Amino acid sequence: AHVDVLQGQKWESSPWKRLQVGDIVRIKQDSYFPADLLFLSSTNADGVCYIETANLDGETNLKIRKALEKTWDYVLPEKASEFKGEIQCEQPNNSLYTFTGNLIVDKQTIPISPNQILLRGCSLRNTEYIVAVVIFTGHETKVMMNSMNVPSKRSTLEKKLDKLILALFATLFTMCVIGAIGSGVFINEKYFYLGLRGRVEDQFNPKNRLVVTILTMFTLITLYSTIIPISLYVSIEMIKFIQCAQFINNDLNMYHAESNTPALARTSNLNEELGQVEYIFSDKTGTLTRNLMEFFKCSIGGEIYGTGITEIEKGGAERAGVRIDDDEDKRSATAVHEKGFNFDDTRIMRGAWRNEPNPEACMEFFRCLAICHTVLPEGEETPEKITYQAASPDEAALVAAAKNFGFFFYRRTPTTVMVRESHVDRMGSMQDVAYEILNVLEFNSTRKRQSVVCRFPNGKLVLYCKGADNVIYERLADGNYDIKKTSREHLEQFGSAGLRTLCLAYRDLSMDQYKSWNEKFVQAKSSLRDRDKKLDEVAELIEKDLILIGCTAIEDKLQEGVPACIETLSAAGIKIWVLTGDKMETAINIAYACSLVNNDTKQFIISSETDTIREAEDRGDPVEIARVIKESVKQSLRSYLEEARRSLSNTPERKLAFIIDGRCLMYALDPALRVNLLGLSLICHSVVCCRVSPLQKAQVTSLVRKGARKITLSIGDGANDVSMIQAAHVGIGISGQEGMQAVMASDFAIAQFRYLTDLLLVHGRWSYLRLCKVCLWFR
């Protein structure tokens, strides 16, 4: 592969292997980055570019990277040749999502964040070309430092066959040794019929018994070698190859017509394992569900808006014996259904929100949706033709909702967000408003929230924040008890309907407050050591005393055929576990919708949301909290295990389900409690683990694999599922969703999925019916 490198004032093509740290390179559209690069400039306005990181994390959503404003001008080779600066940065490491460094240009120190770093293995999209400087090359790049020795998964049959061959070989060797020693001992000239008088061959010469023993040993090995069934290996490998090439790869039920991609068996040595699978571990988002987010409902100022009915609500009604008709013809004239938005409520659509009891709260709610994000618009600046490039489908859905509510975000500059606001006044006129973005406090898995500090055209300073309910509630100002209580009830209602929720809040700032805080923020952003930690600490100083506006509810629909297939798998004796990061209410309702549990299923629930644990949390002693949770988990596991055994002996046909959250699971995985956890889990027909981390997914999979000594299979669709897929006997990675290109097997080879050599990669959207057919066919 070649890349354009700046030589003098011209671009010269050069092979990747000749790149050196400090080279200035030009990357064209759809090309891969040859090294870890510092993004300098782009042909796009405002120094932005779009990249695809599927080779790193399996995500096909385009990510946005923004160059430092100081380097925007270095697009042409004549200008790029004038670039002179010094980069101070961390040593090469394997952390894909962090980078600490400074760029010194014209005696000015500018902090570098991961937003300016382009990693090897990613590719450039929707951008004519970019100019960047090489930071790390070769084996010092982050993706190469993430590579590891590829583990080999071997089937149970293959292991047993190896043991059999070793046993036969030991038998052969024993027989040959006994025969050879016996020949050396009993050979004698008195056995005249052997013709041992006269000149005798060394093998039959009684005068040299050692030579007789050695030569007879080789003779017996040759004679008895047919004990070792060499042809058995060849026959088995031929059968496996035919199964993969003719059955799995050509199975029409595993073909995805929309993306024109069949199933692809990456290995043939796990075929027979599919027919012996007894435990399936599955992720939820993108695996059981489609990962196509749509804004469905919301709560503003203590009032719920949105009249739609989710699939999970329909399933719950059917379980209760109530039939619900969700006819599209019954939707109101204001209903809108487009990508990222599926909402119907005449009270707030098309400016009707102005007549609601809380119009100011509605306005702040819509502004927060339109301003607090990192989305970039693309295409014509009209509501019908614009498209949004977002790091996650959730964020794109929220911006699409703001557009349909009359707050149309259509342009972004490095310091400004342009919003076309309509229906704000009684006349319903439109006005373009420029909000100056002063600071962006980005979302991460630790913070679980995102904030922006913006300045209104009239000079007013406002902090908008959106994040998980527990994180936002901890930072609300005193008072507003009624709306906090009502919104919490609404959140529980949305969770029961299987919706993904976020809370929105804001805070007015004075200029003195902001200036004092911004000085600390700039210092933290320029720090070379523990930058992320210091930024989080500074963010805590301003993300407080918030005023709750409301909450959003986004629907992620189930994949087609999931409930029917799970029922079929259960009938085949396969136990299914769902390991998800969602809240317990959402996970339980997804389990109902997937037919993992029903009204007749006896549920054993271990949750950290109990009165005893809440009382300990109110006292605030971390040691006491840990002790209370551990004791609660210990008692629950012991009592549930006894109850499950009684239920199994009295009514063996009744299904049992075990549900636990990640906080309790952390203590349940303790060596002292692990035996009870495993015992209860193996008795139950289905298990749901909520709010679990990627590490906990792998720990649970390993616990069952080693404890139950049964064949396990893991299914996931993202980087957070890699450890779980690796821990199981058989791993299935699912690539793509509607409208996305399937990720080719070769793409995984240089990425985090590199070590999943035994991955059975199923392209396109996932239907559990496919796995069902494979498992039952091999059975």
Cα separation of 127 and 621, whole Å? Answer: 53
- Per the residue annotation, which of 4, 23, 57, 283 is the catalytic one? 283
CA distances for 370 relative to 377, 418, 505, angstroms: 12, 9, 13
142 is in an annotated binding site: no
The CA-based angle 375-285-148, given to 5 degrees, is 90
The CA-based angle 774-727-573, given to 5 degrees, is 40
Q: 344 Cβ partners below 8 Å, 6+ apart?
A: 306, 307, 308, 331, 332, 334, 335, 336
Instruction: Report DSSP state, residue 256.
Output: B
Helix (H) / strand (E) element for 299: namely strand 289-300
654 is in an annotated binding site: no
620 is in an annotated binding site: no
Residue 283 falls in the annotated catalytic set: yes
291 is in an annotated binding site: no
Strand 129-136 to 24-28 pairing: antiparallel
582 is in an annotated binding site: yes
520 is in an annotated binding site: no
581 is in an annotated binding site: yes
Q: What DSSP string runs through 585-631?
A: HHHHHHHHHTTSS-TTSEEEEE-S-SHHHHHHHHHT-HHHHHHHHHH
SS (H, E, C) 129-184: EEEEEEEECHHHCHHHHCCCCCCCCCCHHHHHHHHHHHHHHHHHHHHHHHHHHHHH
70 is in an annotated binding site: no
345 is in an annotated binding site: no
Determine the residue type at 74: Y
Cα separation of 589 and 288, whole Å? Answer: 12
394 is in an annotated binding site: no
Q: 583 Cβ partners below 8 Å, 6+ apart?
A: 495, 690, 691
770 is in an annotated binding site: no
Cα separation of 209 and 371, whole Å? Answer: 95
CA distances for 640 relative to 106, 125, 142, angstroms: 68, 53, 46
691 is in an annotated binding site: yes
Cα separation of 722 and 777, whole Å? Answer: 27
Q: 327 Cβ partners below 8 Å, 6+ apart?
A: none
The HSE-up count of residue 223 (CA atoms within 13 Å, CB side) is 10
Label residues 19-43 b or e (16+ Cβ within 10 Å = b): beeebbbbbeeebbbbbbbbbbbbe
717 is in an annotated binding site: yes
Report the sign of the C-alpha dihedral through residues 533, 72, 39, 133, in that order. negative
Q: Which residues are annotated as a binding site?
A: 283-285, 395, 443, 466, 500, 580-582, 691, 697, 717, 720-721
Q: Which residues are annotated as a binding site for Mg(2+)?
A: 283, 285, 717, 721
Catalytic sites, residue numbers: 283
Q: Which residues are annotated as a binding site for ATP?
A: 283-285, 395, 443, 466, 500, 580-582, 691, 697, 720-721
